[in-house]
Every structure is written in C-alpha cells, then in structure tokens.
Amino acid sequence: MRCLIVADLHYSLPQYDWVVQEAPRYDLVILAGDHVDLSSAVDGRAQMVVLAKYLEVLKGKTRIVTVSGNHDLDSRDEQGEKTSRWMNELHTIGVPSDDGSIEIDGTLITLCRWWDGPLAQARLGEQLARDAQKPKQRWFWVHHAPCYDSPTSWSGSKSLGDKALLEWINTYRPDMVFSGHVHQSPFTKAGSWVDRVGTTWVFNVGQHPGVPPAHLVYDSEHYEIVWMSMAGIQSVKLDHPLVRPVPRLAMPPAWALENEVSATG
C-alpha cells in the first residue's frame, strides 16, 4: 500500500488541485484535517461546498479518508459541543471521515474527529477501545492534533499537542498516528515532523504556502515514510530506530518517484 498524507490545506485550491493530480499514483490519500480557512474572505459555508466537491473528485481518483480539524467545526451537536456537521455528511458520498474506520490489506485506519468537549472526547476514547479489539496487522490513526510533549507538537516555545492523545497512544500503542494542526513544528528548532512515543511512530505533516504542499509518502513494501516540504526531503525507515537529526536527502527514494506525475504542480 502506498499512501499520500497531507494536512492543513486551509482552502488552498492550488494545493487541492495538486493533490487531485497526484492522487492516481497512490492507493490511499489521507487528509488529516483543517480543510477550511477561517481567515479567508470566502464564506465558510461556501468553502465547505467547494471542499466537498474536491473530496468527491478525489474519491473518483483513488481511495481517500479524512478527519475534521478545529477549523472545520461548523455547528453544535445535541449536547452543545462544537462539531463538523459538513464532514459528518461526507459518509453520504462515500468518503470515510470522523468516527469511521477502514481496513486495507490488513491495516486498520481509525479516523478520529476533532473533539471540542468532554463528551466528544469520551466518544473518541470508546471508538479507539472498539477498534483495539478488531483483528489487524497494523493500526494507523488519523488525528488532526499531534500528541503532547513531542517535537511534532512543538510551537517554538511550548507543546501545543493533545494530552488525551498521548494517553491513548500509551494505552493502545498503534503503529502510526498522522497529524497536522501545529503548522510550524517541522520547521522550528527542537521541532520535527516525526517522533516515536514508545513503539508508536507519530507524524506532523506541517504546513506552508505554495505548491506542492508539505506532504508525507508512505510505502508498506519498503516500510519507509518520506517527508517533502519547502525545507527539503527527509526519510525514515520504519523498521529502524529513529535517529536525530533525521538525514536530509538530495532526492526522494527511487520508489517514491515511480509513476511521478509532477514535482511542482
């Protein structure tokens, strides 16, 4: 299985166009939250209509999954907690999203909603407990916020990560967690796009303007993940210990260039 992972596109339509263009190269595209740009002059409701169409187009190119981020919240649920109703409705067009999970080639992928209160947090904890009981060879989570006390959540002055996520990782020990949210973490001193929490690999894609967006490419056959951004190219072999500083590469591994569509969009 080969995956493309992006996050925090924030209504950057050129970046979405790039993802649509690249999608056929991958078995799965993971969009780890914050589709909407709250600072945009475009009304949020209008953004959501356009973004849902982009996700529907992407679904026609390959398998996709997504989760909500804090910018995607658009209403309140029956308990009065903020929720992303427009993303809840993605299930009706066949896009797996919040509260769902899918299995691909023995890998279970759990899709974690952005929780805004204790009730939604408890429901997410119950979802993880249920998925922990399912048979699987590997277990991936997509959770918009990175975990607390990790370089992947370092803002440059403090950790902006999720403490509940850290507890869940320590309890259930998934193989990988894909996040975003703290845009600057991969680009700051003492920050990073990759970390290990016990045996779990955790990732923060990062965010920057321009095309292509910061992104991760995962390949199960080579068991390697590559981070590509304006800061350069780095890679970790997932069956090796994490070494810091993560080495920089002049070029992506050969496997990551197979059937390449575009490097610049």
pLDDT at 258: 77
Give the residue-averaged pLDDT of 238-254: 94
pTM of the model: 0.95
pLDDT at 229: 97
pLDDT at 263: 39
Give the residue-averaged pLDDT of 116-124: 96
Residue type for 25, please? R
Q: Residue 77 pLDDT more than 80?
A: yes
Give the residue-averaged pLDDT of 69-83: 95
> Positive or negative CA dihedral for 161, 162, 167, 173?
negative
Return phi, psi of residue 68, to 5°.
-80, 150
pLDDT in tens, 90-103: 999 999 999 999 99
**C-alpha–C-alpha distance, residues 112 and 225, integer Å:** 21
**C-alpha–C-alpha distance, residues 199 and 55, integer Å:** 33
DSSP H helices in 142-264: 163-172
pLDDT at 26: 97
Give the residue-averaged pLDDT of 120-124: 96
Residue with tokens 């610049």: 264
pLDDT at 259: 65
Mean pLDDT of the chain: 95
Q: Which percentage of the chain shows pLDDT scores above 90?
A: 94
- Domains of the chain listed by start with CATH number: 2-257 (3.60.21.10)
Q: Residue 265 pLDDT more than 60?
A: no
**C-alpha–C-alpha distance, residues 163 and 160, integer Å:** 9
